[in-house]
Structure 1
Amino acid sequence: MLPVPWGASRWAVGLGALILGMMLAVQVRLQRVVPPPTDTNQLLTLLRTEDARKQALTREVAHLQALLNQRMTAAAAARRLSRELTTAQILAGTVPVHGPGIEVQWSNGTAPPGYQLTDIDLLLMVNELRAAGAEAISINGQRITALSEIRQAANYIVINDTQEDPPFTIDAIGPPKTLRDALTLPGGLVSVSQQEGRSITVSLRSMLTIPATTAPSLSYAKAGPS
């Protein structure tokens, strides 16, 4: 066998070392790009855990939103019922009220006996005021409601079981100018009263207070369908 020259041997060793180095470099790169199986499993587990947590938070948000909607709906219903109750109490006259309106002072004045104030005159006044938008009315401090009685009895007028005589002070809460115009239009109660000798004045009021009436006890009327 012929001996290998020293230069060729050294060149072969260098080439082998270069190839070995390149193989080691490629292996290191592959380890960086592709994680070991253990790291991949941990990453998948973490992703699944985060996805489950996200779904749980989404369900919790939906649950809380539903609770909020229910409470808002219940609060709105409570406010609506409260307004309806207040309106019913005002219309029934069971609570005192205040607001703008008119004050009417009405007396017999110089009217002869046949033209003096009667229960019919007061009923006409109440009807005119209600038609003009009055929301609460009182006569001499007596709250007038759907169950109020206004009737002639001998020489006086009974209002809510109370004997009343002229002069009458009539308070009405509602649109002041509309109420006044309803009474003072040509041929209305004011002009007729003045023609017949009765004294009547209508004054606008920015604030009136009308008391409550005693709530009646019902023995026969029942709420709801029969």
Structure 2
Amino acid sequence: MKKTRDMLALSLVSIFLGLILSIQFKTISKTVGEGVLPTQRAQQLASELKKAQSEKETQANRITELENKIKQYEKGGLENNTYAENLYNDAMKYRTLAGYVDLEGPGIILEINDPPADLQFGDEYSIVSDLDAILQIVSVLNAADAEAISINDQRYTAFTEIVKAGNHIEINGVSTSSPIIIKAIGDPSILESALAIKGGIVWQLRNYDYIVHLTQDQNVQIPKYRKIKEFIYAKPVEESIN
């Protein structure tokens, strides 16, 4: 009878140990698997990103090449043709107003960095989370007669969208994060004074511990707006001739 009880006890202990070993094996396998798969996925994503960046650069170079050819064709028929020259000048004027021309000239550069880590109140305490501040800066610059504005090298136009997306923002559909660098072309003194006025937007940002650098620059370069706007529903109103 005692021998039977001992065998039964030994069997129960063996089953119990087997279950423990099985659970541990599955846990280890799962942990190792989770460690390997994300690494392989990260390498794959990095390779795809590098390929996409290379393709983007190639396409950008191709676009620049075609744009230069278009300029050559446009200028080709201007010589001794006043009408064509006037048409070309008007076209360039409206392209400039729409933001489809690279520009350079005197202006200001405003760089906004997040507060030091020891002064932040959480992961969301970042300039990219404060879209109102960014839009206020744009409004102040427009009120100060800025002729062109860019945010992290994205041209700001009437069609520009600034959208919060996770821990970054998208401007013209392009992801960007801190620091935010805003450039504007115009009278440097007027633009700087409009931003740096006491109680103004720069004062407010510094009051919230953002690291702000505002400088005048005699050769601010602002790239063109890259997206093409197609009008599907809107059309010009034809004026009646009396």
Alignment partners' CA distance in 1, 2:161 and 2:104: 23
Output the TM-score relative to the length of structure 2.
0.58
Equivalence map 1:73-92=2 (5 Å) = 75=82, 81-92=87-98
Question: Does 2:180 correspond to 1:168?
Answer: yes
Give the unaligned 5+ runs of structure 1.
Answer: 1-73
Offset of residue 119 of structure 1: 1.7
Alignment partners' CA distance in 2, 1:96 and 1:224: 30
Question: Does 2:237 correspond to 1:224?
Answer: yes
Offset of residue 115 of structure 1: 5.2
Alignment partners' CA distance in 2, 1:182 and 1:78: 41
Alignment partners' CA distance in 1, 2:90 and 2:134: 30
- Pick one of 134, 156, 161 that aligns with 2:168: 156
Offset of residue 154 of structure 1: 2.3
SS of the residue aligned with 2:183?
strand
Offset of residue 167 of structure 1: 0.2
Question: Does 2:107 correspond to 1:132?
Answer: no
Equivalence map 1:1-150=2 (5 Å) = 75=82, 81-110=87-116, 111-113=120-122, 116-117=126-127, 118-150=130-162
User: Would you say the 8 A contact 2:141–2:191 is kept in 1?
Assistant: yes
Letter in 1 for 2:121: P
C-alpha deviations, 1:110-165, integer Å up to 9, x for none? 34347532222111111111110111111111011000001212221110001111
User: Would you say the 8 A contact 1:93–1:213 is kept in 2?
Assistant: yes
User: Would you say the 8 A contact 1:143–1:211 is kept in 2?
Assistant: yes
User: Would you say the 8 A contact 2:111–2:180 is kept in 1?
Assistant: yes
Offset of residue 225 of structure 1: 3.5
Letter in 1 for 2:153: G
Cross-structure match for 2:209? 197
| Structure exhibiting the larger radius of gyration computed from Cα positions | 1
User: Would you say the 8 A contact 1:122–1:150 is kept in 2?
Assistant: no
Count of residue correspondences: 152
SS of the residue aligned with 2:209?
coil
Alignment partners' CA distance in 2, 1:138 and 1:102: 11
